Amino acid sequence: MENAVGEVQNVLLLGGRSEIGLAIVRKLLSPSARVVTLACRRPDEAAELTQSLSRTGLSVEAVSFDAADTAGHKGFLADVVARHGDIDVAILAFGILGDQQNFDEDPQSAVSAVHTNYTASVSAALCLASQFRQQGHGKLIVLSSVAGERVRKANFVYGSSKAGLDAFCQGLADSLEGSGASVLIVRPGFVHSAMTAGMKPAPFSTTPEVVANLTVKALNAGQRMVWTPGILRWLFMVLRHLPGPLWRRLPLG
């Protein structure tokens, strides 16, 4: 549980090797933080990350978590809570960007990506919401994307999965009203990270650290949604209403 001055003590990162997720964790940590759990598919490859976060009085562990195994989500979360107590903040940061051309050629790979990005995220978020209701508190940070605001032909499989997740989380936030729990939807634009390495940066591209700073600021302010960078909110107020023929001619891929 957060301490008397609202400082986070127990953080769970689903997608424990996510650069954006880790940047948010670092920004959240205060001297009173006591537990960070990095949930990832290959925890044996996260030793360097756990060491980089570790300090006196803070327990950091990497644990095995397969987002695609939705049947195991409830048990996984129960085990985390049993070992470490109430979760103050959970960050849902797993996902697959993928390649649209590969999705076109191999529809099964598209199905797998959508399952991870949407179906598995819905499962994990509902499990967390149930735990937060029992606790009477808890904050869920969900990494959405501006790609879901209006889906581009260059990545419409990925964009559609983020659009679904974004809509789901808006409804989940409404359902948690009055429970003591909350949801913050984060809509980053292009972020320079390992996931986007080699790709041409989009306008207003940013970094994991900038996303983290804006996310934690929004979390502390009790917001339900944050665009990173903020200018994208105003840009998409225009882009979402462009006629289809004009939208398709924009140099967005």
What pLDDT, on a 0 to 100 scale, did the predictor assign at position 244? 79
Homologous superfamily of 10-249: NAD(P)-binding Rossmann-like Domain (3.40.50.720)
d(CA 125, CA 142): 9
118 is catalytic: no
Token pair, residue 193, equals 């990270």
Task: Give the model confidence (pLDDT) of 41-96 as tens digits.
Answer: 999 989 888 988 988 789 999 999 999 999 999 999 999 999 999 999 999 999 99
Mean pLDDT value of segment 139-145: 97
What pLDDT, on a 0 to 100 scale, did the predictor assign at position 202? 65
Looking at the predicted structure, is the pLDDT value of residue 4 above 50? no
Task: Give the model confidence (pLDDT) of 156-190 as tens digits.
Answer: 999 999 999 999 999 999 999 999 999 999 999 87
Q: Which of 65, 76, 132, 158 is catalytic?
A: 158
Using the CB atoms, write b or e for 194-221: b if 16+ within 10 Å: eeeeeeeebeebbbbebbbebbbebbee
Looking at the predicted structure, is the pLDDT value of residue 36 above 60? yes
d(CA 121, CA 199): 25
Of 32, 64, 62, the closest CA to residue 47 belongs to 62
Q: Is the pTM of this model over 0.95?
A: no
